[in-house]
A and B are shown apart, each in its own frame.
Chain A
Amino acid sequence: MLRIHGLLSSGSEKLPGLNLTIRFIPGKMEEGKEVSRSVQESAAAYKIIQERFGTAVSALDANETMPFFEVLESGSWFEIALYMRDHAKLKFNYMACMSGVDYPAEGKVGIICNFQSLALLNHKLAVKVKCDRDGGCIPSVSRVWHTANWHEREAYDLFGMMFTGHPELKRILCPDDWEGYPLRKDYKVQERYHGIKVPY
C-alpha cells in the first residue's frame, strides 16, 4: 500500500535562504510591507512557474488572503498545470477548489483554482484562467487532477465556458435540458420548465 512520507510539521520559523523580490501589483500591496510566511512560500513557487513560462503568466498578486496569478495565454494552461503538479519544487498534488467566476465588465468568464502541495511541501497558490464569455474555451485539467473533472462540469453548468479535452462535459447540478447558465450575472430564469412554472 502506498504511503506518503515526509510530512512537514507546521513551524513558524523563517524560510532559510528565501530572499525574494516579489513584483507587486500597484495599489494592491505596498512594497516593503512585512509578508507572512505562507505568502513568501507562494511567491517562491510562483517564481519557479514564472521563470519557465515568462509572459504567459501575469505578475503575482501577493495579497494575504489568497495569493494568486493569472494565466494570460489560456492555451498554455494545461502545460502550466502539468508543470505545477510535477516539478520537484512545486508538487501541487492537491486541487482544493475550482470556482467559476463571471466578469461581465470585461466580457469574460473564468475559473479560480486553489492548489496546495498536500503533505509534501505544504505551500499554497491560486491560479486564475479567463476566457471569452461567448463561446470561450479553457483547456481541461481533469487529466492532471481528477478533482477538476466534476469541478469543470460544475463551472460549465453554471457559467457556460467550455473545457477542451474534458472526458464528459455535461451539466452536473442542473438538469441536462436546462436553459442558460444560472450563475452569470445577467441570467434570466426561464419561465417554464417542462410545463412547471419556474420563478415563484
Chain B
Amino acid sequence: MQELERVGQGSVRVTRKSDKLVIVEKDLATEQMVLAMGPQHPSTHGVLKLECLTDGEVITEAIPCLGYLHRCFEKCCENVDYPAIVPYTDRLDYLSGMNSEFAYALAVEKLLDLEIPRRVEFIRVIVSELNRIASHLVAIGTYGIDLGAFTPFLFCFRDREIILGLLEWASGARMLYNYIWIGGLACDVPADFLKRVREFIAYFRPKAVELQELLTGNEIFVKRTYGIGIMPADVAINYGWSGPMLRGSGVKWDLRRNDPYSVYPELDFKVVVPDGKLSVIGDCLSRHLVRAVEMEESLKIIEQCIDKIPSSEGFNSRVAIPKRIRPKAGEVYSRAENPRGELGFYIESDGKSTKPVRCKARSSCFVNLSAMKDLSKGQLIPDLVAIIGSIDIVLGEVDR
C-alpha cells in the first residue's frame, strides 16, 4: 500500500514523488482565463478574433475584435467615381457579390431618379436570388462543418458550383462579378441562360430537401443547436438585427416585402419565420431553418421571374446607363435584403463632383455580430462555435 501524503491547502492533485504517490494540494488558479479564439481559427469563418473570458468551460464574456480585414472601403469610395465603386462592393460580402452590387445600384439610382428597363430588373432579381442560394449553401455547409457534419458541406459546394458556373457564364467571373451596373447591366444574359436556370431549379429542388434531411434529421446537429443562443425578438430588433437572424427570432420582416424594391412587389413568396415546432424560436436551429427554407422561396422567385421576363428582342442592357453620373446634391439611405440581412448604403452627393462625398455601407454582419457579447454569456465553449456559425458572418463585410 502506497502511503499518501497531503501537502498544503486547497484543491487536490496526485503526483508521483520517487516511489510514493503524493497528493499535492495545488493552489489551482480559480480566476478567469482569457482564451483568444482566432484570428486564425477555422470556426470563426475568417479573420475574426474573439477574446473569451472563461470560467472553466463556461464563457463569461466573449469580446469580438475586428479590423483584420479592414480595407478602407469607404475611403476608397470617396476617391473614385460612382460606377467604379461597383467592383468594390463585390468585395464587401464576397459570397453574395450580386446582392451587394444590387443594393449599391439601387442607392445611386434612387439618387439619380432613374427609370430601369423591366428586363434589367428581372435579370437582376434572378441573378441575386441565385446568389442568395449560393450564399446560403455556404452558410449551411460551413455550419455543418463547425458542428462536425462533413457530408452536407460537400453536397452544398457541389450545388453551389453549378450556380457559380451559371453566374460566371453571365458575367465572366465566379465570385466578384461587376455585373449589375448603375442603370443597367454589364451585358444581357447568354441566349440559353434562363433555360439552364430552369434546369438547375429542377435539379436543385430534391437536393435541397435531401440537404435539409441530412442536417435537421441528424440528432447530433439538432442537439448542438436546439435551444442554444436564444435571442428574443425585442432584443434582436434593439440590436439592429436583420435578415435570417431577425426572422429566426420570429419577426416577420423582409425588406423584399416590407420595403419593396425592384420587381419584388409583383412576385409571390413567403417570408420565412420559424413556427416553433422544430426549434425554440430565436435559437441557432431556428436561424439555420430560416436559411434552409428560404432557398426554396428563392427558387420560387426565380421561377416566377423566368415566366414574367420580357423577351430579349431589341434589348440593350446599357440603354439606361447615364453617360456621366453626377447626381444632384442630396443624400440617400437605401437598403436591400442581402442573404445576411439589410445591406444599406448611405450616399451623399454635393451635386458638383462625379465622386460621392461620403459613401457608407451599413453592413448586416457587422451589426449582427455586435450582439455576440450578449449571446455568448454563460454558454459553453463548444456552443460558442455553434453561435458564431449561426450568425453567418463574412468578414469582408464586417471589416469593410
B46 interface residue per 8 A CB criterion: no
B-facing residues in A86-105 (Cβ within 8 Å): 93-97, 99-102
Is A65's CB under 8 angstroms from B370's CB? Answer: no
Tell me the complex Cα distance, A156–B238, Å. Answer: 21
Question: Given the complex, which residues of B lie within 8 Å of A175, measured CB to CB?
Answer: 67
A144 to chain B, nearest CB (A): 9
Is B362's CB under 8 angstroms from A97's CB? Answer: yes
Is B276's CB under 8 angstroms from A65's CB? Answer: no
Question: Could you say which of A2, A93, A102, A146 contacts B370, with CB atoms under 8 Å apart?
Answer: A146
B-facing residues in A34-72 (Cβ within 8 Å): 63, 65-66, 68
Question: Given the complex, which residues of A lie within 8 Å of B330, measured CB to CB?
Answer: 63, 65-66
B213 interface residue per 8 A CB criterion: no
Is B253's CB under 8 angstroms from A118's CB? Answer: yes
Q: Which of B116-124, B155-163, B340-348 contacts A (4 or more CB under 8 A)?
A: B340-348
**Count of chain A residues near B, Cβ 8 A:** 39
B290 interface residue per 8 A CB criterion: no
B49 interface residue per 8 A CB criterion: no
A183 to chain B, nearest CB (A): 6
Tell me the complex Cα distance, A46–B259, Å. Answer: 20
Tell me the complex Cα distance, A47–B309, Å. Answer: 43
Is B110's CB under 8 angstroms from A3's CB? Answer: no
Tell me the complex Cα distance, A102–B357, Å. Answer: 9
B380 to chain A, nearest CB (A): 22
B-facing residues in A173-192 (Cβ within 8 Å): 173-175, 182-183
Question: Could you say which of A1, A126, A151 contacts B281, with CB atoms under 8 Å apart?
Answer: A1
Given contacts A146-B370, A182-B72, contact A96 B335 (CB under 8 A): yes
Question: Given the complex, which residues of A lie within 8 Å of B74, measured CB to CB?
Answer: 158, 183
Is A101's CB under 8 angstroms from B358's CB? Answer: yes
B399 interface residue per 8 A CB criterion: yes
Is B110's CB under 8 angstroms from A65's CB? Answer: yes
Question: Given the complex, which residues of B lie within 8 Å of A151, measured CB to CB?
Answer: 367
Most chain A C-beta atoms within 10 Å of own C-beta, residue among B72, B78, B235, B238: B238
Question: Given the complex, which residues of A lie within 8 Å of B259, measured CB to CB?
Answer: 10
B75 interface residue per 8 A CB criterion: yes
B-facing residues in A127-186 (Cβ within 8 Å): 145-147, 149-151, 158, 171-175, 182-183
B30 interface residue per 8 A CB criterion: no
Is B280's CB under 8 angstroms from A118's CB? Answer: no
Given contacts A147-B367, A174-B70, contact A4 B250 (CB under 8 A): yes
A37 to chain B, nearest CB (A): 12
Chain B window 331-354, contacts with chain A (Cβ cutoff 8 Å), 1 for yes, 0 for no: 111110000001010101000000
B240 to chain A, nearest CB (A): 3
Tell me the complex Cα distance, A2–B282, Å. Answer: 9
Question: Given the complex, which residues of A lie within 8 Å of B374, measured CB to CB?
Answer: 146
Chain A window 1-21, contacts with chain B (Cβ cutoff 8 Å), 1 for yes, 0 for no: 111100100100000000000
Q: Which residue of B lies closest to A8 (CB)?
A: B258
Is A146's CB under 8 angstroms from B240's CB? Answer: yes
Tell me the complex Cα distance, A147–B237, Å. Answer: 9
Most chain A C-beta atoms within 10 Å of own C-beta, residue among B234, B235, B276, B358: B358
Question: Given the complex, which residues of A lie within 8 Å of B230, measured CB to CB?
Answer: 1
Is B75's CB under 8 angstroms from A96's CB? Answer: no
Is B331's CB under 8 angstroms from A68's CB? Answer: yes
Question: Given the complex, which residues of B lie within 8 Å of A93, measured CB to CB?
Answer: 234, 237-238
Is B260's CB under 8 angstroms from A150's CB? Answer: no
B251 interface residue per 8 A CB criterion: yes
Tell me the complex Cα distance, A3–B246, Å. Answer: 12
A11 to chain B, nearest CB (A): 12
Question: Given the complex, which residues of A lie within 8 Å of B232, measured CB to CB?
Answer: 1-2
Question: Given the complex, which residues of A lie within 8 Å of B333, measured CB to CB?
Answer: 65-66, 96-97, 112, 114, 126
A-facing residues in B136-155 (Cβ within 8 Å): none
Q: Which residue of B lies closest to A187 (CB)?
A: B75
B58 interface residue per 8 A CB criterion: no
Q: Which residue of B lies closest to A93 (CB)?
A: B237
B400 interface residue per 8 A CB criterion: yes
Question: Given the complex, which residues of B lie within 8 Å of A119, measured CB to CB?
Answer: 237, 251-253, 258
Question: Given the complex, which residues of A lie within 8 Å of B367, measured CB to CB?
Answer: 147, 150-151
Tell me the complex Cα distance, A172–B48, Å. Answer: 12
Question: Given the complex, which residues of A lie within 8 Å of B70, measured CB to CB?
Answer: 173-174
Question: Given the complex, which residues of B lie within 8 Å of A118, measured CB to CB?
Answer: 237, 251, 253
Q: Which residue of A lies closest to B67 (CB)?
A: A173
Is B252's CB under 8 angstroms from A147's CB? Answer: no
Given contacts A3-B250, A4-B233, A172-B66, contact A150 B331 (CB under 8 A): no
Question: Could you say which of A10, A66, A158, A171 contacts B331, with CB atoms under 8 Å apart?
Answer: A66
B270 interface residue per 8 A CB criterion: no
B111 interface residue per 8 A CB criterion: yes
Question: Given the complex, which residues of A lie within 8 Å of B360, measured CB to CB?
Answer: 97, 99-100
Is A94's CB under 8 angstroms from B234's CB? Answer: no
Question: Given the complex, which residues of B lie within 8 Å of A4, measured CB to CB?
Answer: 233-234, 237, 250-252
Chain B window 353-387, contacts with chain A (Cβ cutoff 8 Å), 1 for yes, 0 for no: 00000101010001100110010000000000000
A-B contact pairs, 20 of them (CB 8 A): A1-B230, A1-B250, A1-B276, A2-B234, A3-B250, A7-B252, A10-B257, A63-B331, A65-B331, A68-B331, A97-B344, A99-B346, A99-B358, A99-B362, A101-B348, A112-B333, A114-B362, A119-B253, A119-B258, A150-B367
Return the 5 tightest CB-CB contacts between A and B, nearest first.
A147-B240, A99-B360, A97-B362, A65-B332, A150-B370
A10-B259, A149-B370, A150-B370 given; name 4 further pairs at CB < 8 Å.
A96-B342, A114-B333, A151-B367, A171-B67
